[in-house]
Structure 1
Amino acid sequence: MNKKIFAPIILMTAMLLSACSTAPKTTSMLDQARMDYQAAQNNPNVLTLAPLEMRQADIAMNEANKAAKENESTDKIDRLAYIAKQKIGVAQELTKQKQAEAAVADAAKARDQIRLEQRTNEADRAKMQADQAKAQADQARLAAQIAQGEASEAQRKAQEEQAKALEMQNRNAALESQLAELQTKVTVRGIIITLGDVLFGVDQAKLTPDGMRTVQKLATVLQNNPQRTVLIEGFTDNTGSQAHNQDLSERRAAAVRSALVLMGVSRDRVLTKGYGESYPAVENDTAQNRQLNRRVEIVLSDANGNIGQR
């Protein structure tokens, strides 16, 4: 009975011992190599930066695992595991070295980029300053041109005013020379030229030859001074009726105007007015005074064509 119970137990124990004797061996060195290898495999940088070294580590690790699987001696397994561990270490160190070199290169590249950006910024600032200086110079040049133009314009206007003043002086001098041949007087209304009674027919509105010559001189004055106009005023003494005297004064003023127009003076530059007995030059108390009152006065306008009111 007891023999039957112990026989299966002995058989199972033998089987277990046999199974244990066929299981792969391992050592602490091999376990460390395996952990280092797994860590290297899990690091993508090692696979990327040290592919040749990892290939050598793969071969060494496979040899160590093969020795363990074939139950080689512990010394051999440890030796192969040590070699694999060293190659794994070489791959890891090379990876660190390349990472450090890459970091240095990146740092240098970053420094170069920073320097490039600094130089670019300095160039941009210099260009901006140059542009600003150019803009300021352009503004200054434009301001100078404007100032010069304004000065030139002011000088031109001053020269024009001087020329106009000189021309006016020359015209006034010429006018004075021309009027010197006529009986003129200067009043607040302007220059007045008087045509006496002797320049007309007795009690008539027809100019005598002497009267025509006098009017011709006046026409020459007006032609040489186109900016001036005239007002022709007729007067009589108090002899005869007021109606007759009024009519005679108007006809004599109109006769002078007609003569001026025939001599080339524009009609719109000549106005007429008859006053009859009004506004006597002197009292009508003598024949000589009455002759002085029988007259035609021609009022010459100023340089702007203005004639003062009576």
Structure 2
Amino acid sequence: MSVFFAACSTTPTTTSTLDQARGDFAAAQSNPRVAASAPVEFKAAADALDRANAAAAKKESLNDIDKLAYIAKQKIATAQEIAKQKQAEADVANAGRQRDEIRLEARTAEANQARSAADKARMSAEEAKAQADAARLQAEAATNSARDEQAKSAALQQQLNDLQAKQTDRGLVITLSDVLFNVDRAELSAEGMRTAQKMADVLLQEPQSAVLIEGFTDSTGTSAHNMELSQRRAESVRNALIGLGVKSDKIATRGYGEAYPVAANTDAGSRQLNRRVEIVLSQNGAPIANRR
């Protein structure tokens, strides 16, 4: 019996309430949020549990131990509840921050979309302006080109008028009288060279036109002499035009002598009309038809 009482005297005294308090404390202690969120309350709970454990170790009355254990249990519950509240508050705050971040991201995305739309609109406006400017410049260029062409055409027509050009079924025909040559000679006179210059100015503006230079004489003299003189005069005009910049491959010559008179050879005036050089310009590069 003395051994039994001795054994009983070393067994710590406890109660179900104390055991529950110890379990609750262990659970709270394993949750780092309790100590972090309610440090004061958690320490108060630990101190209360220490007092209950101390009372149990001293084998105080079960009623006193229960009271101390209950107090510890309540303080542990308080610490856990405060930790839960603070965690809930933190969750609410975090949710609010996340909501604010989402709203901010949405507003940022809207602003970016608006900026992108504005940039696209600006680029479209700039492109439209560039196209309008290009169209305006093109229209101005076309107008200037048309004006230049009209001016060139008018100038060309004036030059042709000055040369007394005539439209025929073979093309434009310009007649050079024999006064542009010395008597019975093929060399162009100074006046003949000035006329050749006018002719070259016309031909240089019509690079596609083919040119045929035809020489004619009156009926005086032998046929052989007249044929040779008409050819030499046609060649003289050709050489003058080439020297003034007209391409040689565009110019052909032909001497007809006394053939194809334009007036009777009965007097000096009519014979002078027959002594001539005719320059035929094709139209649009078409070949020049032979004389009929």
Q: TM-score, normalised by structure 2?
A: 0.76
| 2:229 pairs with 1:251 | yes
SS in 2 for 1:80: helix
Partner of 2:207: none
Spell out the pairing of 1:234-273 with structure 2 (5 A cutoff). 234-235=216-217, 237=219, 245-254=223-232, 258=236, 266=244, 272-273=253-254
Structure 1 residue 44, shift from structure 2 partner: 2.2
Partner of 1:300: 279
Q: TM-score, normalised by structure 1?
A: 0.72
Structure 1 residue 134, shift from structure 2 partner: 0.9
Taking the aligned partners of 1:56 and 1:139, their CA distance within structure 2 comes to: 76
Greater gyration radius = 1
User: Is the contact between residue 54 and residue 87 of structure 1 (CA under 8 Å) also seen in structure 2?
Assistant: yes
Structure 1 residue 125, shift from structure 2 partner: 0.9
Partner of 2:12: 24
Q: Which runs of 5+ in 2 are unaligned?
A: 204-210
Map Cα deviations across residues 222-246 of structure 1 (whole Å, 9 max, x no partner): 2233234672424564x99xxx622
Map Cα deviations across residues 82-112 of structure 1 (whole Å, 9 max, x no partner): 2211221121111011111101111111111
Partner of 1:233: 215
Map Cα deviations across residues 117-141 of structure 1 (whole Å, 9 max, x no partner): 1111111111111011112111211
RMSD: 3.8
Spell out the pairing of 1:1-310 with structure 2 (5 A cutoff). 13-176=1-164, 187-189=168-170, 190-193=173-176, 195=178, 200=183, 205-206=184-185, 216-226=190-200, 227-228=202-203, 231-235=213-217, 237=219, 245-254=223-232, 258=236, 266=244, 272-276=253-257, 279-281=259-261, 288=266, 292=271, 295-302=274-281, 309-310=290-291
User: Is the contact between residue 176 and residue 276 of structure 2 (CA under 8 Å) also seen in structure 1?
Assistant: yes
| Count of residue correspondences | 272
Change (3 A) 1:43 1:246: same
Change (3 A) 1:230 1:297: farther
SS in 2 for 1:72: coil
Taking the aligned partners of 1:47 and 1:220, their CA distance within structure 2 comes to: 119
User: Is the contact between residue 49 and residue 68 of structure 2 (CA under 8 Å) also seen in structure 1?
Assistant: yes
SS in 2 for 1:24: coil
